[in-house]
């Protein structure tokens, strides 16, 4: 497609008017294409040099531009180029380039304007992987490329030119390296002749002498005509200009980590690493599912596999589910691998993230560690991809390009000829099915590396057992006594409740009204620390009213959150030092600080949400209390039992990881639930086998494939009508008529309204991927026919059904 397809019309403006609606069409299946203007004449028959360019606009296609002769030797796949889109100049990434016959007349094709970088910003392996990811998830290719480029790299080159950081007419491909390169001016030691400088030139020179070097763009903003002044000063030898990165080159990390020799592996660890190393040495793609109990030394196995990978001269990527885990893991990796380790995750500031990205791209760093976005690290010679806690739902991105990092890790490794290791104490059913099918090899670590035993697990039936001395039913007598004993022994406890805030519901006792968010169909949670009501879906906040809309002042705070639980434990155990770990108190580096307090023995009891379940090694924790196991098990989602089981096993695994034995107390009103009984026996394989049978009977993954079409609009009837239109289109396809694909819905989503948008969905289900994708492609091609007030998004392999 050309930038002139619609004359002067700016295509991105149309996309912005349609919101974030997915405009992917048939072009997303074909990759790129040239689309003729309706008024154009016959296309040229002579081959010309064309480049297909991905531009960050929400359209499911690339744009084709002619390649000027002066750029033909330099423009290659992965190059960043400056091109025209409507009335704007934007930066895009070249997907392919070559000589071919265009589908438009030559005069209708726009040329590339400039090459931005001296070398490609993305390696070809990563570029092809991103193209495949975009096709699989029906995502615009430009949006998929955004995943792999840090913010600094995604900036419009037109904006840089407007700021003076690319001079007019400059050939940036010969001057810019990776990163944002800007022009700096520095005063020399030379002296001007008395009275030779006046006006702006004198002011600029005085400024540089007083303050040191400065960006020319900053001088222009301060002094107006500073560019001419700088040019004059440079001619007189009074100023030097140079281009360099404006990214700080300080230390990558805060503080040094002493190098540590690897410990002696257990026999089981050595056997697992041996299998992975053999596949690495073969140089062939492969996949492993590493199933290891909590504390079995999976991380040590990862590091030994990475050492084998590095010995072969290849790079590695390690994915973890939580940003909060990254500092802990990075510390261990730096102690083992030194300066070869880089970090990529959304919590990094732009300049730090850019530096890590650039040094991974340049080959200075060979090991990328981070949350799901680290999957797109621009490393070369990829040899190994590790996905730690692969079962975790946070590996699925729920907005924008809805990719699953675990699934795409398998794809990237396969395409790169690398090895992928999926590790977990509670593997996902999808990974177990992968190993059972022979597409991945299963490896097992059934014992803790420290020889410590797994903790004993006690189920407390809240139907029969009442409150302890505190009088609070959520602190049962067995849990209270267990906490007392742990405190007497000088050991630490974790009390788990997966609900933050003080009270998750505010109810009027006079009229029974539950206070709900204005924008979402969910109740507001009271946060006592800030004395505000807050929506945990859209983050809407308001003060707690004194009266209900009915006029009554009888407002009751009901339910239990971590904030209230912390207060109750402080009251029940006044001598104990109680801390809390949830997203209200532990943003960014704060979570690491709280965990360090636990490791230093400065806290006796840690109250937390699922943040406390994720791979933390706290040697003195011997007791874990689960306040309400039923919350996760009661969600309206076919994965509820699996998620609940995983959560319980993971949090139980924090207890007794070293020489002191551990104990787990789980409170429930449904002690006979299979997820609880299997968890109490540490029977992971038993649960997986039972759950696989249940999924087979119900027709859910991993036995069948799913896709959701999510529809939303401010007007409920608009959303309902658009969803019905999509369902009707799906039912008209051959695959549905042949019963190869089942269409369910349209139906309101379980959370019917979020962010002032009414939500409906259409569920597609099939035993085979091919027929399902055929129906999805038919739907994608017709999304532009929907009411423009509705937004429709295709979610392939959905994780959240809410």
Mean pLDDT value of segment 560-581: 94
pLDDT recorded at residue 638: 93
CB neighbours of residue 158 within 10 Å: 17
Lowest mean pLDDT among 84-98, 220-234, 663-677: 220-234
Q: Please, which pLDDT band fits residue 444 given cuts at 50, 70 and 90?
A: very high
pLDDT recorded at residue 615: 66
Mean pLDDT value of segment 77-96: 88
Q: Please, which pLDDT band fits residue 503 given cuts at 50, 70 and 90?
A: very high
Q: Rg (Cα) of the chain, in Å, rounded?
A: 30
pLDDT recorded at residue 9: 31
pLDDT recorded at residue 32: 38
Q: Please, which pLDDT band fits residue 523 given cuts at 50, 70 and 90?
A: very high
Lowest mean pLDDT among 276-280, 402-406, 502-506: 502-506
Lowest mean pLDDT among 188-192, 433-437, 641-645: 188-192
pLDDT recorded at residue 321: 87
Mean pLDDT value of segment 71-87: 89
Place of tokens 């850019």: 354
| pLDDT for 24 beyond 50 | no
Q: 102 — phi, psi (to 5°)?
A: -80, 160
| pLDDT for 182 beyond 70 | no
pLDDT recorded at residue 244: 57
Q: How far apart are the first and last CA of the chain?
A: 37
Give residue-wise pLDDT tens across range 685-700.
Answer: 999 999 999 999 999 9
Q: Please, which pLDDT band fits residue 659 given cuts at 50, 70 and 90?
A: confident
| pLDDT for 164 beyond 70 | no
Give the residue with greater pLDDT, 792 vs 258.
Answer: 792
Lowest mean pLDDT among 115-124, 599-608, 696-705: 115-124
Give residue-wise pLDDT tens across range 318-364.
Answer: 999 876 556 677 888 888 998 899 888 766 666 777 788 888 998 99
Residue 354, classified by CB atoms within 10 Å of its CB into exposed (0-12), middle (13-18) or buried (19+), is buried
567-588 burial string, b = 16+ CB within 10 Å, else e?
Answer: ebbeebbeebebbbbbebbbee
Mean pLDDT value of segment 449-453: 84
Q: 406 — phi, psi (to 5°)?
A: -65, -50
* Helix (H/G/I), strand (E/B), else coil: 748: strand
- This prediction has a pTM of 0.83
Asked if residues 325 and 615 have their Cβ atoms less than 8 Å apart, the reply is: yes
Lowest mean pLDDT among 301-310, 320-329, 388-397, 681-690: 320-329
pLDDT recorded at residue 106: 80
pLDDT recorded at residue 188: 77
Give the residue with greater pLDDT, 737 vs 196.
Answer: 737
Asked if residues 575 and 546 have their Cβ atoms less than 8 Å apart, the reply is: no
Give the residue with greater pLDDT, 6 vs 561.
Answer: 561
Asked if residues 774 and 733 have their Cβ atoms less than 8 Å apart, the reply is: yes
| pLDDT for 71 beyond 80 | yes
Mean pLDDT value of segment 135-156: 79
Average pLDDT score, the chain: 85
| pLDDT for 20 beyond 60 | no
Nearest to 755 by CA among 712, 799, 798, 710: 712
pLDDT recorded at residue 253: 59
pLDDT recorded at residue 360: 92
| pLDDT for 542 beyond 50 | yes
Nearest to 354 by CA among 342, 363, 372: 342
Lowest mean pLDDT among 259-263, 610-614, 690-694: 610-614
Nearest to 10 by CA among 89, 124, 92, 88: 88
Give the residue with greater pLDDT, 721 vs 236.
Answer: 721
Rounded to whole angstroms, the Cα distance separating 108 from 407 reads 41
Query: And the tokens for 78?
Result: 């992965």
DSSP assignments along 220-288, one per residue: HHHHSSHHHHHHHHHHTTSEEEEEEE-S--S-SSSS-----PPPPPPHHHHHHHHHHHHHHHHT--EEE
What is the percentage of the chain residues whose pLDDT exceeds 70? 87
Give residue-wise pLDDT tens across range 286-298.
Answer: 999 999 998 899 9
Q: 589 — phi, psi (to 5°)?
A: -70, -15
| pLDDT for 169 beyond 80 | no
Lowest mean pLDDT among 73-82, 416-425, 436-445, 590-599: 590-599
Residue 660, classified by CB atoms within 10 Å of its CB into exposed (0-12), middle (13-18) or buried (19+), is middle
pLDDT recorded at residue 210: 72
DSSP assignments along 117-183, one per residue: SSS-SS-HHHHHHHHHHHHHTT--HHHHHHTTS-HHHHS-HHHHHHTTSS-TT--GGGT--SS-EEE
DSSP H or E stretch at residue 752 = strand 741-754
pLDDT recorded at residue 616: 76
Q: Please, which pLDDT band fits residue 247 given cuts at 50, 70 and 90?
A: very low
Instruction: Cis check for the bond before 746: say yes or no (omega within 30 of 0).
Output: yes
Q: CB within 8 A of 458, min separation 6: which ones?
A: 478, 663, 664, 665, 666, 680
What is the percentage of the chain residues whose pLDDT exceeds 90? 55
Mean pLDDT value of segment 217-244: 80
Q: CB within 8 A of 101, min separation 6: which ones?
A: 43, 44, 45, 46, 47, 48
């Amino acid at each position: 497609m050309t930038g002139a397809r619609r004359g002067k019309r700016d295509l991105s403006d149309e996309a912005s008017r349609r919101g974030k609606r997915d405009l992917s069409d048939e072009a997303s299946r074909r990759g790129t294409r040239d689309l003729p203007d309706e008024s154009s004449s016959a296309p040229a028959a002579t081959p010309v040099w064309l480049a297909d360019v991905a531009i960050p606009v929400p359209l499911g296609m690339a744009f084709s531009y002619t390649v000027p002769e002066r750029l033909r030797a330099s423009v290659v796949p992965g190059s960043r180029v400056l091109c025209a889109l409507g009335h704007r100049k934007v930066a895009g990434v070249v997907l392919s380039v070559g000589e071919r016959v265009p589908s438009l007349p030559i005069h209708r094709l726009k040329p590339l304007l400039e090459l931005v970088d001296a070398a490609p910003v993305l390696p070809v392996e990563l570029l092809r992987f991103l193209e495949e990811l975009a096709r699989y998830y029906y995502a615009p290719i430009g949006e998929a490329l955004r995943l792999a480029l840090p913010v600094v790299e995604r900036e419009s080159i037109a904006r840089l030119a407007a700021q003076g950081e690319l001079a007019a007419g400059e050939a940036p491909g010969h001057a810019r390296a990776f990163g944002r390169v800007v022009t700096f001016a520095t005063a020399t030691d030379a002296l001007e002749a008395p009275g030779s400088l006046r006006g702006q030139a004198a002011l600029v020179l005085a400024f540089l002498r007083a303050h040191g070097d400065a960006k020319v763009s900053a001088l222009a903003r301060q002094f107006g005509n500073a560019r001419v002044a700088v040019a004059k000063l440079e001619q007189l030898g009074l100023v030097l200009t140079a281009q360099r990165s404006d990214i700080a080159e300080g230390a990558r990390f805060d503080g040094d980590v002493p190098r540590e020799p690897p410990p002696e592996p257990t026999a089981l660890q050595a056997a697992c690493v041996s299998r992975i190393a053999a596949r690495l040495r073969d140089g062939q793609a492969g996949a492993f599912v590493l199933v290891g109990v909590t504390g079995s030394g999976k991380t040590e196995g990862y590091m030994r596999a990475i050492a084998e990978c590095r010995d072969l001269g290849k790079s590695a990527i390690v994915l973890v589910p939580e940003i909060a885990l990254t500092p802990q893991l990075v510390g261990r990796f730096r102690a083992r691998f030194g300066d070869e380790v880089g970090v990529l995750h959304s919590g990094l500031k732009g300049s730090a993230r850019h530096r890590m990205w650039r040094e991974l791209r340049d080959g200075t760093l060979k090991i990328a560690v981070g949350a799901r976005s680290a999957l797109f690290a621009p490393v070369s010679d990829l040899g190994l991809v590790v996905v730690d806690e692969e079962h975790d739902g946070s590996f699925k991105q729920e907005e924008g390009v809805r990719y699953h990092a675990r699934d795409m890790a398998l794809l990237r490794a396969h395409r790169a000829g690398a090895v992928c290791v999926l590790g977990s104490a509670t593997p996902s059913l999808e990974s177990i099915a992968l190993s059972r099918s022979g597409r991945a090899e299963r490896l097992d670590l059934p014992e803790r590396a420290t020889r410590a035993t797994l903790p004993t697990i006690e189920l407390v039936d809240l139907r029969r057992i009442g409150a302890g001395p505190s009088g609070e039913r959520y602190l049962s007598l067995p849990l209270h006594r267990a906490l007392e004993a742990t405190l007497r022994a000088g050991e630490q406890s974790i009390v788990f409740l997966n609900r933050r805030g003080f009270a998750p519901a505010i109810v009027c006792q006079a009229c029974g009204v539950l206070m709900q968010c204005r924008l979402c169909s969910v109740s507001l949670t009271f946060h006592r620390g800030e004395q505000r009501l807050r929506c945990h879906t859209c983050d809407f906040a308001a003060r707690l009213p004194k009266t209900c809309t009915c006029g009554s002042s009888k407002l009751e705070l009901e339910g239990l959150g971590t904030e209230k639980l912390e207060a109750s434990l402080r009251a029940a155990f006044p001598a104990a030092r109680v801390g809390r770990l949830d997203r209200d108190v532990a943003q960014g580096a704060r979570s690491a600080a709280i965990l360090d307090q636990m490791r230093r023995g400065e806290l006796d009891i840690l109250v937390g949400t699922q943040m406390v379940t994720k791979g933390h090694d706290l040697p003195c924790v011997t007791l874990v209390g689960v306040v309400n196991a039923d919350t996760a098990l009661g969600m309206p989602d076919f994965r509820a039992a699996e998620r609940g089981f995983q959560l319980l096993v993971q949090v139980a695994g924090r207890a007794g990881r070293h020489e002191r034995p551990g104990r787990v107390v789980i409170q429930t009103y449904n002690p006979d639930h299979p997820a609880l009984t299997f968890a109490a026996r540490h029977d992971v394989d038993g649960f997986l086998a039972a759950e696989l049978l249940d999924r087979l009977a119900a027709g859910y993954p991993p036995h069948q494939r799913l896709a959701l079409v999510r529809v939303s609009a401010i007007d409920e009837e608009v959303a309902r009508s658009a969803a019905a239109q999509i369902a009707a289109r799906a039912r008209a396809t051959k695959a549905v008529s042949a019963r190869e694909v089942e269409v369910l819905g349209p139906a309101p989503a379980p959370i019917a309204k979020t962010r002032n948008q009414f939500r409906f969905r259409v569920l597609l289900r099939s035993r085979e991927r091919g027929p399902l994708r055929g129906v999805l492609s038919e739907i994608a091609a017709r999304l532009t026919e929907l009411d423009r007030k509705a937004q429709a998004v295709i979610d392939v392999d959905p994780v959240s059904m809410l």
